[in-house]
Chains A and B, each alone.
Chain A
Amino acid sequence: MSDQNAAVGAGGRLGVTPSQTVGPFLHIGLPWPDGPYVVPEGTAGAVWITGTVYDGAGQPVPDAVVETWQADPDGRFDHPDDPRGAAKPSIPGFRGFARCDTDADGRYRVLTVKPGPLPCPDGGTEAPHLDVTVLARGLLDRVVTRIYFPDEDAANAADPVMSAVPPDRRGTLVAEPDGDGGLRFDIRLQGDGETIFFEV
């Protein structure tokens, strides 16, 4: 059967399907009850990362979804494309992935554990980090950022991604202690203190 949509383009590769916004009604389709949990509640060393998504007027964005993806605390992935081999996480119920839609105040939350550092293909080491996807009404494509950890100054300073970012904006990638045992990571889509977003 021919693939009617998948027209063959230049170079014999199929054309990629374009991105579209999640729209205003993402809350019915995307959230899962266990979405915010990279690790189960009660996991030793687990930390809540919470934050608010803001627009360019400084207003909270109540129709966004924040998704995170990360290595386990040993710096491994249970994934066949990791050339070191897929590794089962040592933490029961570790999923590596979280998804949380923002509430009426633009807030999201993710319960996780700090991932381990990662070796780079070109040498060097990446500091512990979460890759972040932000989806929202008004975003026609996802935007991507990273969350780094505030107690990893030396590792952050040596991190190749952080090092490539203008120094005065690196702070937008580092979570802050929230004074309550958790971490705070706000996302500013536009304007003052705009979060660093990556093309990846």
Chain B
Amino acid sequence: MSEIRELYQELILDHNRNPQNFKPLPGANHHSEGFNPLCGDHYHIYIKTDENNIIEKITFDGKGCAISKASASLMTSFLKGKTVEEAIRAFESFHDVVTGKIDPETGMAELGKLAVFAGVRDFPVRVKCASLAWHTMKAALTETETVISTE
């Protein structure tokens, strides 16, 4: 049971129950749609940046498991007010931590609350759940693709 609690931290469960920024965003100037075909997770990320490339507003909607929903919720809260460059850097750090490439202690220092997702590294099949919102956010900002899939 303790490994399970390691993955499903209270903060994750809270954000699953009461997701933040969980709504569409009229006036968004970036948007992308992300799928995880393995489990049917499906989200939209909406972003409004200002003329200085600062993320003014960021929201999401869609459906998915607790990990993916909490991740989207915490990510949107975290990125609000950051620059596009900072968001892309955060994506890299987050990705490296959940895939176990770098130690959570070092990598998560700059990620603050997002450290709760460090437990995902012990559940390789769930890494895609934790990173889906991030991939979708990155696609929205870089506009390489508008529909992304984790497969």
Partners in one complex: no
